[in-house]
């Protein structure tokens, strides 16, 4: 007959069950050393309880079997039959009873040895504390918990969603140091006075620069006909010179035409006008190429500063921190965009919704208030938007911060133009001076003709006086002759009348009469000669005096007339000479900020700034050890592992949805996770592994 094997029925005695509070006879206690402690800063999550028992068996010390009941109370010792020297080396024990129920009711209890005291030569007292985690951890189920911090933030495959804005921008409260360091710099040169980059000259004028200017002797001045620039109306006209050389050639060509250049009201240096689509018509002025600005909107330009720039950030991190992508968010990484005008932009990298570091350049060159502004493309926009590399122009309001997040060149330098004031005066008075010369010559001719007329009139008067005097002399002579003849006739008559006295008496009487007549005639002739001589002498003296006065008056008048003409000509010449001393005039004005253009450049730089090495190390090592701030609800995986070697968890609300242990132990497990605990996959790593040699497991998502 074969033997019959029967499994004995479970027989229990009240108060004699094997449990965590008492060990019944047959309980086997295995002493061991483990690297985790009763403070629960570190715990080990074994694959299952068999794996835990295998680990203890490999590290076991002596095994002690209890033959009688042993109560296990907190703070009370348990006596074991073993020498003190065999017991005090261990910090952990496992209590198991082969007679305990199998299956789900099977229990093995694990304890920390908190103290060892010798009681007798072969007896030792040990104080123990139940390891709640290893005893009940496999029978506890966790629900949706609020995760305050942990490695799940590093292992999360979605952590860099939306450039990190979704998960990585939670404040950490860590000291980032006093200053950043520049690890890279992207440069955009728009114009430079010292390099090869070109800049143009914009001229605003109230005088047309394209019409014939004439000459100094015959100047021509044509007012500006007005214009529109960037759809803004102006009574002036705008011209642009491609570069400084063209502008200087223009200035040299027009240096002797200040009546034209005096109409220039503004001279401004601007970036190369071809880059921003200024609508201008080419023309030639005095052999100099110039562009007359027409209407039309200028071209907004987009510049890709660094394509796929985030892909290169790993180059600036130590290799051990490559998994710490939070270093690519603010405040651990900052992009500073500056045009060196005192208005830098601090750009948070996660807020720049563009993978190519695109900058939009918006020009406004029309006076007044010319400027060129720059802003990061789609900064703070919810979505990245279209690829800017496919469309170099045409973006204006991009759906981001737009002009609320901009820097730029706000004060273009302006320059003065010096005009020749003398030439300007001569041209402005060309017709007036000609008139003054003509008027002075007419005045002299008029004066000299008046002098000649006065001279001729005096001469005619002298001739008249001489004629009248001669007429008087002739008349007096004729009268004397008549008187003399009458006297002769009277004498003859008297003689004839006296002849009655005889011939002798006649002869004597005739002789006497003739003698008397002759005496009378002589007397009268003498008197007439005296009178005529006096009259002629007086007349001659008068005429001589009149001639002297005539000659001296004409000489004086001629001298005065010539002197007046010379004075007038000298006055005109003096005004012309004074005009040569006229101070040069200026057009336009000096102003603006020329320092950057002269000393460095126009443009903007984007500086990539990261933490200094000391601050980066402090923060990096902290994250490697404790992970990121998470602050959201999530589920912990069943093995509590999101990293390949250790995983830190700190919960704020711990929901335990199932457990097979008393409430006090359930609360202990909740407390373990809410104070923060590191769950290790391999107990041999505790205290030995480099914190940087801990890598995320695949498939982890929050």
Buried b vs exposed e over 296-317: b needs ≥16 C-beta within 10 Å? eebbbbbbbbbeebbeebeeeb
Handedness of CA 96, 99, 102, 106 (dihedral sign): negative
- State the pLDDT at residue 1: 36
Q: Residues 6 or more apart from 162 whose CB is under 8 A from it?
A: 350
Position 255 scores a pLDDT of 78
Secondary structure letter of residue 191 according to DSSP: E
What's the whole-model pTM score?
A: 0.72
The 10s digit of each residue's pLDDT in 340-387 is: 998 999 999 999 988 899 999 999 888 888 889 999 999 999 877 766
Residue 611's pLDDT is what?
97
CA distance 393 to 301: 5
pLDDT at position 520 is 67
Structure confidence at residue 138 (pLDDT): 92
Minimal CA–CA distance to 148: which of 678, 620, 634, 655? 634
pLDDT at 595: 86
> What pLDDT is recorded for position 423?
45
Report pLDDT for 422: 45
Q: How far is CA 317 from CA 173, 314, 322, 644, in A?
A: 21, 5, 7, 22
Kindly give the residue spans of alpha helices, DSSP state H, lying in 102-164: 132-136, 152-155
Rounded CA separation 454/459 (Å):
9
User: What is the pLDDT at residue 473?
Assistant: 72
pLDDT value at residue 671: 96
| Predicted confidence (pLDDT) per residue in 398-407, tens digit | 888 989 999 9
The residue ranges of the chain whose pLDDT is under 50 are 1-15, 103-104, 421-423, 425-427, 430, 499-500, 578-582
Residue 299: per-residue pLDDT: 83
pLDDT for position 478 = 65
Give the Cβ contact number of residue 284 at 10 Å.
Answer: 9
pLDDT tens, 282-331?
Answer: 888 878 888 888 887 788 888 999 999 999 999 999 999 999 999 999 99
Give the distance between the most distant pair of CA atoms in the chain.
263
Between the alpha carbon of residue 569 and those of residues 165, 468, 475, the distances in Å are: 88, 47, 57
pLDDT value of residue 437: 54
pLDDT value, residue 505: 54
For position 4, what pLDDT does the model report?
Answer: 37
How confident is the model at residue 500, as a pLDDT? 47
């Amino acid at each position: 007959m074969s033997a019959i094997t029967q499994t004995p029925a479970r027989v229990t005695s009240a108060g004699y069950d094997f449990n965590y509070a008492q060990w019944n006879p047959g309980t086997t206690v295995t002493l061991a050393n483990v690297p985790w402690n009763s403070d629960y800063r570190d715990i080990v999550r074994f694959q299952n309880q068999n794996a835990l028992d295998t680990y203890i068996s490999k590290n076991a010390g002596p095994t002690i079997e209890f033959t009688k009941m042993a109560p296990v109370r907190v703070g009370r010792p348990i006596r074991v039959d073993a020498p003190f020297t065999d017991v005090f080396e261990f910090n952990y024990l496992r209590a198991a009873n082969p007679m305990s129920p199998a299956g789900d009711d099977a229990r093995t209890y694990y304890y920390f040895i908190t103290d060892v005291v010798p009681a007798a030569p072969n007896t030792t007292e040990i104080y123990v504390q139940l390891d709640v985690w290893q005893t009940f951890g496999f029978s506890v189920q966790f629900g949706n918990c609020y995760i305050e911090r942990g490695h799940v933030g590093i292992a999360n495959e979605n952590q860099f969603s939306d450039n990190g804005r979704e998960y990585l921008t939670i404040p950490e409260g860590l000291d980032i140091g006093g200053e950043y360091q520049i690890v890279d710099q992207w440069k955009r040169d728009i114009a430079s006075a010292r390099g090869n980059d070109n800049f143009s000259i914009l001229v605003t004028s109230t005088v047309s620069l394209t019409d014939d200017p004439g000459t100094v002797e015959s100047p021509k001045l044509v007012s500006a006909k007005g214009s529109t620039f960037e759809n803004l109306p102006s009574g002036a006209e705008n011209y642009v010179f491609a570069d400084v050389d063209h502008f200087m050639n223009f200035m040299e060509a027009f240096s002797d035409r200040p009546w034209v250049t005096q109409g220039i009201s503004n001279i401004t240096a601007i970036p190369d006008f071809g880059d921003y689509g200024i609508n201008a018509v080419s023309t030639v002025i005095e052999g100099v190429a110039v562009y007359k600005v027409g209407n039309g909107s200028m071209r907004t330009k987009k510049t890709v500063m660094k394509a796929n720039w985030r892909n290169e950030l790993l180059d600036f991190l130590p290799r051990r921190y490559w998994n710490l992508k939070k270093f690519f968010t603010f405040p651990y990484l900052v992009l500073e965009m500056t045009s060196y005008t005192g208005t830098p932009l601090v750009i948070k990298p996660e807020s720049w919704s563009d993978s190519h570091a695109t900058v939009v350049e918006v020009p406004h060159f029309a006076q007044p208030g010319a400027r060129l502004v720059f802003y990061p493309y789609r900064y703070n926009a919810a979505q990245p938007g279209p690829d800017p590399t496919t469309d170099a122009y045409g973006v204006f309001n991009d759906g981001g911060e737009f002009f609320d997040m901009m820097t730029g060149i706000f004060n273009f330098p302006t320059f003065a133009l010096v005009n020749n004031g003398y030439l300007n005066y001569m041209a402005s008075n060309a017709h007036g001076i000609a008139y003054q010369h003509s008027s002075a010559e007419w005045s002299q001719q008029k004066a000299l003709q008046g002098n000649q007329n006065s001279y001729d009139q005096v001469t005619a008067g002298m001739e008249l006086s001489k004629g009248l005097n001669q007429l008087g002399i002739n008349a007096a002579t004729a009268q004397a002759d008549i008187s003399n003849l009458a006297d002769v006739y009277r004498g003859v008559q008297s003689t004839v009348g006296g002849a009655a006295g005889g011939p002798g008496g006649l002869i004597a009487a005739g002789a006497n009469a003739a003698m008397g007549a002759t005496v009378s005639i002589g007397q009268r002739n003498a008197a007439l000669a005296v009178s005529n001589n006096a009259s002629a002498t007086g007349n001659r003296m008068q005429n001589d005096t009149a001639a002297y006065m005539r000659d001296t008056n004409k000489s004086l008048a001629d001298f005065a007339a010539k002197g007046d003409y010379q004075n007038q000509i000298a006055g005109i010449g003096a005004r012309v000479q004074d005009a040569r001393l006229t101070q040069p005039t200026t057009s336009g004005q000096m102003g603006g900020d020329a320092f950057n253009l002269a000393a460095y450049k126009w443009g903007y730089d984007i500086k990539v700034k990261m933490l200094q090495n000391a601050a980066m190390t402090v923060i990096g090592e902290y994250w490697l050890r404790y992970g990121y701030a998470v602050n959201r609800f999530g589920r912990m995986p069943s093995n509590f592992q999101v990293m390949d070697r250790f995983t830190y968890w700190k919960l704020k609300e711990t929901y335990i949805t199932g457990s097979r242990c008393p409430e006090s132990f359930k609360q202990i497990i909740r407390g373990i996770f809410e104070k923060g605990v590191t769950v290790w996959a391999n107990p041999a790593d505790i205290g030995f592994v480099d914190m940087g040699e801990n890598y995320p497991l695949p498939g982890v998502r929050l």
